[in-house]
Amino acid sequence: MSEYHQPVLLKESVDALVTDAEGTYVDVTFGGGGHSREILKRLGKKGRIIAFDQDADASKNIIDDKRFMLIRGNFRYMKNFLRYHKTIPVTGVLADLGISSHHIDTSERGFSTRFDAPLDMRMNSEATLSAAQVINEYTEEKLRDIFKDYSDLREARNIAKKIVAQRKEKKIETTSELMEILRSETHRGQEFQFFARVFQGIRIEVNRELDALKELLNACKDVISEKGRLVVISYHSMEDRLVKNFITAGNFSGEVEKDAITGQPEQTLFLPLVKKPLEPSTEEIENNSRARSARMRAAIKQNHS
């Protein structure tokens, strides 16, 4: 499990999540099972965990415990699966977003800048859209938007132009080819950060990560019980902004709706447990450098009658 993925903010997230030892909890990003195992330690005989992961590799980490169930599927379909298994409402939902250590360290998946690999980046290896299709088939404008919005790169326009110019000569098939094409856009000493952002943008597009997150959060309105908990660990500003806006305003724009009669702000469905997102300690970052960008937000579902 630890080789597959080292869970981030493990104690902090489970502390915020588990309020009832006999409750039902959902771990929508099972991965190596680190968070699920910690949750199980806090549960009684009637407690239960339902975990989700769209990656077939995650099933190798399945937990042999009658209180545990793993569903192989994208968490965007959480509500449908929970309805099918007749487990609504649940006591809490935990999401550890982003990419697992396993994905980064498995060279052939194409997630890492460290290996020469096919342009893939699919979290679900059975999905149809791959990084190769994004790079070789998207319009220059669409590529520019990806690197501007998802990678937050000022060089987005130049990146898109160079990709389109190169693929006219020859199809771009590997991570190394892509990096070589864009090497002139990097700044000395910042090459790693640049390519990490490039890969992040492509990965988000391939896996439709922001759309999936929105669907998950909206589903939480219906599946979490009153006084139940929502805990989300995110790794880049776009994810964190969506989570923050959802918790504080009940939508993704961040604008709190006002009562049509009184003009007063309406009560939101979730109440933040902390004003600012919780960040990993210096010690945790030293032990796991991939935790550096993690931000955790937690909220309790209010009575909305």
2: confidence class by pLDDT, cuts 50, 70, 90: very low
Chosen domain end from 150, 185, 207: 207
Residue 88 domain flag? yes
The predicted structure's pLDDT at residue 214: 97
Q: Is pTM, for the whole model, over 0.95?
A: no
304: confidence class by pLDDT, cuts 50, 70, 90: low
CATH number at 264 reads 3.40.50.150
Chosen domain end from 183, 207, 231: 207
Report how far residue 58's alpha carbon sits from residue 185's, in angstroms, rounded to the nearest whole number.
Answer: 36
Do 88 and 215 have their domain in common? yes
Given a contact cutoff of 8 angstroms between Cβ atoms, the answer to whether 39 and 17 are in contact is yes
CATH number at 171 reads 1.10.150.170
Residue 262 domain flag? yes
Residue 2 domain flag? no
Do 142 and 271 have their domain in common? no
The pLDDT tens digits for 62-89 are 999 999 999 999 999 999 999 999 999 9
260 or 134: which carries more pLDDT confidence? 134
Residue 68 domain flag? yes
Beta bridge partners of 189: none
Percent of the chain with pLDDT over 90: 71
State the CB neighbour count (10 A cutoff) for residue 58: 23
The pLDDT tens digits for 245-299 are 999 999 999 888 776 666 666 778 999 998 899 999 999 999 988 888 999 999 9
Do 114 and 199 have their domain in common? yes
Do 189 and 113 have their domain in common? yes
Chosen domain end from 207, 226, 243: 207
Do 258 and 273 have their domain in common? yes
The predicted structure's pLDDT at residue 103: 47
Residue 3 domain flag? no
Q: How many independent structural domains does the chain possess?
A: 2
Residue 4 domain flag? no
235 or 94: which carries more pLDDT confidence? 94
Residue 5 domain flag? no
Do 92 and 232 have their domain in common? yes
The predicted structure's pLDDT at residue 213: 96
Do 92 and 217 have their domain in common? yes
Q: Is the pLDDT of residue 107 over 60?
A: no
Mark out the alpha helices in the chain (DSSP H runs): 10-17, 34-42, 78-84, 101-105, 131-137, 140-149, 156-169, 175-182, 191-207, 209-223, 237-249, 282-287
The predicted structure's pLDDT at residue 60: 86
Residue 24, both tokens: 């039902």
Place of tokens 């004003």: 275
Do 94 and 222 have their domain in common? yes
The vertex-28 CA angle with 44 and 148, nearest 5°, equals 150
Residue 2, both tokens: 């630890």
217 or 2: which carries more pLDDT confidence? 217
Which residues, other chains included, contact 249 with Cβ-Cβ below 8 Å and sequence gap of 6+?
Answer: 255, 256, 257, 268
* Distance of alpha carbon 61 from the chain centroid: 19
Do 15 and 86 have their domain in common? yes
Do 16 and 39 have their domain in common? yes
Do 223 and 201 have their domain in common? no
Domain limits at 27?
10-101+209-301
User: Worst-scoring range by mean pLDDT, 175-179, 189-193, 262-266?
Assistant: 262-266
